[in-house]
Chains A and B, each alone.
Chain A
Amino acid sequence: MSRRYLNQAGVALLSLVLIVWSLAPIYNMVLISLEPEGDVFTEHIWPRVPSIESFWGVLTQGHWYLAHFWRQFANSFFIGAMVTFFALLLGTLTSFAIARMRVRHGWLVSNAALLTYVIPASFLAIPFYRIMQNYGLANNPWSVIAALVAFATPYAIFVFQEYGRSIPIEVDESARIDGASPPQIYLRIYLPLMAPALVAVGTYALLLAWNEYLYQFLLLSSKSSMTVPVALAQFLSSDQSPWNYMMATAIVYALPPVAIYYAFRRRMAAGLTMGGVKG
């Protein structure tokens, strides 16, 4: 009997540890953002006089550091949306051609795609910087979009190929017999059947773009073209930044991906089992 209580107590303790572990940095963000007038160093671990002036400052762009906040937020959204769209488009088109149309030597394309991951993205940042200058894309969001699409698409192709195994090829063949052309099969049959995988990969691509820092930092330099993470980094580099505004900005920036994650998390879990254990 006591062993069972010990077990229960252990589970309860572990649950508590996990909650504190997961929430501590988030609590810190909220704590600092609620401090009045940039006073990040206090002796208390809870806000003495909570003030939402920092959030109000973010929403109204009421501080000179935040003068372009909504423009930068829109840039982040734009980059995220474009990366998602193009990763899904290129991923589905390529995996359709390789796995459904069974083009010869298609496996070469998917293996070559996975070779993208041999060299980590951050290691290629410097050559990328030079190349984007050559292409005339300096300080242009499309440079970041191109880089992120190049890094997200191989994973997309891999997941779509795996997921496509569960869709019988006979479906395509019967459509072909009925006279459908490849684009019609792609649009009317392949994409609808792939919907769960599209959601999983789309969410992954969006979170990738939202999490990304180095390329946005390197490639976007002007206040009107940069994204929120880059603006936040500028906050960091100054000694007299209003930290409460910075944390409020960080929290506002964090809200969309958290919301999207919680809306789509069941679909994302389904995406992760592809390639895992098949029973």
Chain B
Amino acid sequence: MSGAPEVVAVRPASLDRPRRPGRLGALPGPELAWAIAFVAPYAVVFVAFVVYPVAQGLWMARDPSLYRALLADALYPPTVLNTALFVGVGVNAKMFLALLLSGFFMRRRWWIKALLPVFMLPWALPSIPAFVSFHWMLIGEEGLVDRLLWMLFGLPGPLWFNDRWLALTWNIVADVWKWLPFWTLTFFAARMAIPRDIYEAADVDGAGAADRFVHIIVPLLGNLYLVCTLLDTLWTIGDFTTVSLVSEGAPAYSTNVLATLGFHYAFDAAQPALAVAAVMSALPVLIPITLLVMRALQIRQVQL
């Protein structure tokens, strides 16, 4: 035995002192001061750049006659329909395709793994160049799409932005093109987080691909799918860039969505109050969705 001194572990008395997190009184004075100092910068930003604009916006939109004027305006009702279609079709297409593609990218072929970074490129590319390119792919007979149609099929392609429904379809396609990779990656990451044991147990039980989808993916990813759908709905309702750059509201403002219509009222028609009323008219949809998101985010743990 060496002469090493014995070290007796003594439990520090400070650990016995009850320390209840969450009670303001339990944070000692200096610590409380630090906590407030840490939260203060964001609080200032929040009040100055979120609360104030929102309050200002609600104040500008308070007059009921603005809403009567909106309903009477020739542009507003079609814009609401455009927004509903843009969001409804676009979001569901993105979510559904993302869920399916996330399964596709789980395959372990080398070329599929190499394909994923290429597939992500639309999301990495900034919106403005991408949507400007879309606009120029579709403009006139000499845009790339019409040229391809002529070369491959001998079809004279239509003037895409002369028709409201074709232009709206292309807005939706551009939106799906840009954001599908992001949602695919989200679902892909979630699928990767599912323990392999579950898949192996399913294989042992003789489950096919459809069984795996219904009994493993749907229960485990269901809540995430719902949250993503709701979040993307919120984001797509507020999307200005896509429509502004792809169809530019053509023909004749008939493919505007609420965000671009608001801009048109404010800066082309010099009616800012009407503009704010137009966008605030989406609040009855936005508020319930946000509440649902916050509720769905409470359910974070997946019971395995």
Contact = CB atoms under 8 A, between A and B. Distances in A.
Contacts of B67: none
B77 interface: no
Interface in A158-174: 162, 169, 173
A18 B245 CA distance: 24
B99 interface: no
Given A96-B38, A211-B127, A177 B12 contact: yes
B129 A254 contact: yes
Contact of B194 (A103, A210, A277): A277
Contact of B39 (A15, A18, A97, A278): A97
B156 interface: no
Nearest to B54: A119
Interface in A70-114: 89-91, 93-94, 96-98, 101-106, 109, 111-114
A42 B21 contact: no
Contact of B56 (A127, A182, A213): A127
Contact of B193 (A130, A247, A278): A278
B57 A120 contact: no
A150 B50 CA distance: 7
A276 B189 contact: yes
A101 B275 contact: no
B96 interface: no
Interface range, B side: 35 or more
Contacts of B101: 18
Contacts of B42: 90-91, 93-94, 109, 113, 153, 157
B155 interface: no
Interface string A249-279: 0110110011001100100011011011111
A211 B193 CA distance: 29
Interface string A6-32: 000001001100110111111111011
A98 B34 CA distance: 12
Contacts of A233: 128
A102 B22 contact: yes
Contacts of A97: 34-36, 38-39
A26 B177 CA distance: 12
Classify the secondary structure of B's interface with A.
Answer: helix
A24 B137 contact: yes
A17 to B, nearest CB: 11
Given A45-B151, A153-B42, A277-B190, A127 B32 contact: no
Contacts of B48: 146
B240 A119 contact: no
Interface stretch (B2-10, B109-117, B159-167, B200-208): B109-117
B47 to A, nearest CB: 10
Interface of A: 11, 14-15, 18-19, 21-29, 31-32, 40-45, 89-91, 93-94, 96-98, 101-106, 109, 111-128, 130-131, 146-147, 149-150, 153, 157, 162, 169, 173, 177, 181-183, 186, 207, 210-211, 213-214, 228-229, 232-233, 236, 243, 246-247, 250-251, 253-254, 257-258, 261-262, 265, 269-270, 272-273, 275-279
Closest 7 CB pairs of A and B: A120-B238, A250-B129, A41-B142, A261-B124, A104-B24, A102-B21, A150-B49
29 contacts: A26-B121, A27-B144, A45-B144, A93-B41, A101-B35, A101-B38, A103-B39, A112-B46, A113-B46, A114-B290, A116-B46, A117-B290, A122-B240, A123-B258, A124-B53, A127-B54, A146-B49, A153-B45, A207-B124, A213-B127, A213-B241, A232-B129, A247-B133, A250-B128, A251-B129, A258-B125, A261-B124, A269-B188, A272-B185
